[in-house]
């Protein structure tokens, strides 16, 4: 029996996709082998890789002057790859700090960029908000501006795309890519670990504007050099073939759902339902400013934290799994990625109301 899995990542995947993969696992397309067992350089796998890229480009309407890379190392390795590719050791680079994942990107960035500056920091709001668009003062000579579009732990999402002028905008979209349409042309580079809305862990998608290629500083490892990876079709070495194949199945599933505009409608409805239930109760609390509440990750606490354990146990018994908040903050968190159906959120909201009635 499938449960509703609210994990933040690795996260729930569409059942259809899992069944498709299972159906062809031991004999993939009549080859007598699984997709796990074939060379990444085989004609059959190259076709899978190319098709996944084409589907992703279609879904996001990626302009022709952007390259799509399928890499390894997670979003965390991109925290280092970005400064290595886009900035010199003595350059300036600007960052916005909206919470836990921004902080990790900043800490890693500092290892590589002497002139790193945090140009906006939401500490005063306890990371429950994003800076005002008009308050962002990007340095004109910065190599790039980095921000975290959706803070997976804090549940804070930018409702706007920052204006960085001529400075390339670099965005960590790990927990929100493909949740709705995106104007890729606003960005110099976007990146996302796959394990939320794309597919299994082990794959990282990077979409980078061509004029930003070929600038990697001396000493950059080849696998981290975007130009080198682009030249080799992301196959400078063995790529995560199974994750890439699975991502292709997820992209096809997204097309069948009607694409990203359709996903946005469902995702907004799911989020609205849950936030409404939280706000209408006197029992559950979400601290995030309404204008920047995440559609993907909804953290909430109980007014009486001593009930956390029985809430989680009761939810589990009702088939609602992995609602524990991140280990650094506690409380609860419901992640509502693309593969979480509206029915899952309806079941959660019904459980929350019932739990409040019996414990409130």
Cβ distance 205 to 192 under 8 Å?
yes
Q: Nearer to ligand PMP by C-beta: 108 or 356? A: 108
> Is 172 labeled as catalytic in the residue annotation?
yes
What are the distances in angstroms from CA 65 to CA 184, 208, 321?
11, 9, 42
Residue with smaller CB distance to ligand PMP, 98 or 349: 98
Question: What single-letter DSSP state applies at residue 168?
Answer: P
Active site residue: 196, 225, 253, 295, which one?
196
Give the DSSP letter of residue 324. Answer: B
Q: Least distance to ligand PMP from the beta carbon of 313, Å?
A: 25
Q: Determine, following the binding rule CB under 6 A, whether residue 157 of this chain makes contact with ligand PMP.
A: no
What sign does the CA torsion over 177, 178, 183, 185 have? positive
Q: Does 109 bind ligand PMP (CB under 6 A)?
A: no
Helix (H) or strand (E) holding 261: helix 259-280
Establish whether 101 is a catalytic residue: yes
What's the CA angle centered on 66, arms 93 and 185, to 5 degrees? Answer: 70
| Candidate segments 22-30, 69-77, 237-245, 273-281, binder of ligand PMP by CB under 6 A | 69-77
Q: Which stretch binds ligand PMP (CB under 6 A): 68-76, 254-262, 301-309, 347-355?
A: 68-76
The answer to whether the beta carbons of residues 60 and 260 sit under 8 Å apart is yes
Nearer of residues 16 and 121 to ligand PMP, judged by Cβ? 121
Bridge pairing between strands 145-148 and 169-172: parallel
Of 176 and 241, nearer to ligand PMP (C-beta) is: 176
Q: Closest approach of Cβ 331 to ligand PMP, in Å?
A: 17
**Binders of ligand PMP in range 169-208 (CB under 6 A):** 172, 174-175, 193
Beta carbons of 168 and 209 less than 8 angstroms apart: yes
Which of 38, 172, 43, 186 lies closest to 108, judged by CA?
A: 172
Least Cβ distance, residue 359 to ligand PMP (angstroms) = 31
Residue 208 CB, nearest approach to ligand PMP (Å) = 17
131 near ligand PMP, rule: CB under 6 A: no
Q: Could you give the residue numbers annotated as active site?
A: 101, 172, 196
């Amino acid at each position: 029996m499938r449960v509703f899995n609210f994990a933040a990542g690795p996260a729930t995947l569409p059942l259809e996709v899992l069944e498709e993969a299972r159906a062809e696992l031991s004999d993939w397309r009549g080859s007598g082998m699984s997709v796990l067992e074939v060379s990444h350089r085989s004609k059959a796998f190259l076709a899978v890789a190319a098709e996944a890229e084409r589907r992703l480009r279609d879904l996001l309407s990626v302009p022709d002057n952007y390259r799509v890379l399928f890499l390894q190392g997670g979003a965390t390795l991109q925290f280092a790859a970005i400064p290595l590719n886009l900035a010199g050791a003595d350059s300036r680079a600007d960052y916005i700090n909206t919470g836990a994942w921004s902080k990790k990107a900043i800490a890693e960035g500092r290892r590589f960029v002497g002139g790193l500056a945090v140009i906006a920091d939401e500490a005063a709001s306890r990371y429950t908000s994003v800076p005002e668009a008009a308050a962002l003062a990007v340095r004109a000579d910065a190599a790039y501006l980095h921000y975290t579009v959706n803070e997976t732990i804090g549940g804070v999402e930018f409702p706007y795309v920052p204006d960085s002028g001529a400075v390339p905008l670099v965005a960590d979209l790990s927990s929100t890519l493909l949740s709705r349409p995106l104007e890729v042309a606003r960005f110099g580079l976007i990146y996302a670990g796959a394990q939320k809305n794309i597919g299994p862990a082990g794959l990282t998608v990077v979409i980078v504007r061509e004029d930003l290629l070929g600038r990697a500083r001396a000493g950059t490892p080849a696998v981290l050099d975007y130009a080198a990876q682009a030249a080799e079709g992301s196959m400078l070495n063995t790529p995560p073939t199974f994750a890439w194949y699975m991502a292709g199945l997820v992209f096809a599933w997204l097309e069948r759902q009607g694409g990203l505009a359709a996903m946005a409608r469902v995702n907004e409805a799911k989020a609205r339902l849950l936030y409404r239930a939280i706000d209408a109760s006197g029992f559950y609390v979400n601290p995030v400013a309404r204008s920047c509440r995440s559609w993907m990750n909804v953290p909430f606490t109980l007014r009486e934290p001593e009930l956390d354990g029985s809430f989680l146990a009761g939810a589990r018994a009702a088939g609602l799994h992995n609602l524990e908040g991140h280990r650094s903050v506690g409380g609860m968190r419901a992640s509502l990625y693309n593969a979480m159906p509206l029915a899952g959120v309806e079941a959660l909201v019904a459980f929350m109301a019932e739990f409040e009635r019996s414990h409130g």
